[in-house]
Structure 1
Amino acid sequence: MNRARVLWQRVPAPVVDIILVAVTAVDVWLNLWDATRTDVALAALGCAALAFRRRFPLGVFLLTLPVAVTQPVAVAPLVALFTLAERCRNRRLLAGCVALAAVASSVPWPAAFTEVGRTMTLIDFVYSLATAVVPVLFGQLLQAHRDLARRLVEIEEAREYERSLHAQAVLARERAQLAREMHDVVAHQVSLIAVRAGALQVAAGDADAKEAARTIRSLSVTTLDELRTMVTLLRASGGNATELTPQPTLADLHKLLESSGTHADLKGELPPTVGTPAQRALYRTVQEALTNARKHAPGATAHVELWQDGDDVGVTVTNSPPTRPSLSLPGSRQGLVGLRERADILHGTLESGPTAEGGYRVRLRIPLSAD
């Protein structure tokens, strides 16, 4: 039965309407063989009106009533009643239409109100009433089935939303726990490293040792600031009242250069139409390039240039050769890898490598419309 219903639902609605009009026309043609031209015209109008039963169910039902008057059991009014019951939620209107269809089917045509005729009319009315109730019940059943299916979909969507909220709550708790661990353990250890490095810088007598201690302290302080920013973000996403830290944009480049610990200058500017993701990528590129210059090229100067080339924008960071030996610091090279991944996401390119003068250059190019 389910398979037959699925197949029937796949039939286009106009095809179904044409079939119903044809069936009711055959029904009228078989039963009105001795009718007048007026009866035939009214019956034809009622059958043709079934093509519009989906848009005007009540009007089509009223147009099919002459068919019910001229023949005992007509298919057209039953189809119209079914369509009306399938779409209407007014029970009083449906009850009135059932009574009207029963009266139209039971009224003698032509009228003959003899004593026997009245009795037969009453019997016909009861029979017609029972006949008219059947399509209404089927229509209401189909309407209830659709309402139930819609309600089940809404319940499933609500459950899916609740599952999503639960997953987000679990993730928020895990982030809050991770933030506490980073604050209580990692940040504390990095703070101790910075303090110890500062003490070593003061107590050391060798210039190289002082420089190494200064570098360790500087890196520790920078790492501590980044850890605090990460803790703030994790706590914010964990559901606490702390608000998310605004993501950096091109307007923050001057502040970045001033706090980079490297002699750097900024040239060029970009149009205000550069999207936020592109601005963030440009900022992170400059940040990573200056960090690498500070770590691997002590005493070097850096030049940051913002530029636009047609539909592309970008930034080039070039640092000069180091003026003093660099310390052997551990590095995972994940910074440049992350920048390349960010560039790929924005459909851009990242180029990096040493210069002919012994320095290093990082160049990012991304579309102006990157979003």
Structure 2
Amino acid sequence: MAGGGTAGHIEPAMALADTVRRIRPDSRVVALGTERGLETELVPKRGYPLELVPPVPMPRKASTELLRMPMKVRDSVRRTREVLDRVGADVVVGFGGYVSLSAYLGARGRVPIVVHEANARAGLSNKVGARLAARVLAAVPDSGLPGARVIGIPLRESITGLDRAALRARARAHYGLHPEAPTILVFGGSQGAQTLNTAFSGAADALGRAGVGVLHAHGPKNTVAVQQVPGAPPYVPVPYLERMDLAYAAADLVVCRSGAMTVAEVSAVGLPAVFVPLPHGNGEQALNAQPVVSAGGARLVTDEELTAQRVVDEILPLVRDPDVLARMNRATLETGHREADRVLAETVLEVAAR
């Protein structure tokens, strides 16, 4: 498996690994990564061996770094081939990112390739890999990979098997939330999001007085100071959410960024959402959210529009309207893909067997 750098590449790979092992307990799964990425932390925690190769980041503009690219690519591809030979790889599965390009070039003509694209717009690595692959799969239509089979994103079993209603009481007790009050889950990714932090801390008093509870993951490097309204449902700030399954189960509505993994998880568990796309990049996060928004399962608010007043005027009435939330719940579930891990695993094992 090759998919490093960010959690958006690593988590689908780990979900695939877990599913392959469930289907074929005798299989061996090895992750390929670089020393720069989160894989050095996440992969060993999940119990899988990690092989490191030199990273080959693509320069965004002409520079002396661009002149050194051919040599760096050759070195990384050579090291990748050494790993493939040593572990006896039967198939290479790439999820994008720096290490995937080395994996695709190293496997070319030697080991069959399967490509999975999680984002609404495919990156350079997967565009190269798709030209060499035996199978190409994607999370959403129109990813930029012609002929890709749309299957969604492989997710952890704790997410795909989540029964929010059955876990609700336990989840709220775990986080110290009110057992019955309408509750909003707020998070901005693993590092938090300043826009969400400012808007919700600014609206905390109004939310409390309206009888709404909040579970707010503000990021480990940030802090959120709120004045608890006496007698109101708790506003619970935490640096990081270790148990996303419990966080999803505790909430009636989520307000979050719209990275590909986040949209996939929210859709799979059927949680109504307000997506606030990251304002940087090529507009990819807005594209990730669009299928769920179009289906009626979510609303979209731009980063610059999310203020404390917008929370009070739009998000507060929404979380207190159970009929609207129920319709959004049904619409969200219809866009979700709970079987993506199994579909991808079966595809990979089929290619390996051939």
Q: Give the TM-score band, short-chain normalised.
A: under 0.3
Task: Find the structure with the greater CA-based Rg.
Answer: 1
TM-score, normalising length: structure 1: 0.24
TM-score, normalising length: structure 2: 0.24
Greater helix fraction, Structure 1 or Structure 2: 1
Higher relative contact order (CA 8 A, sep 6+): 2
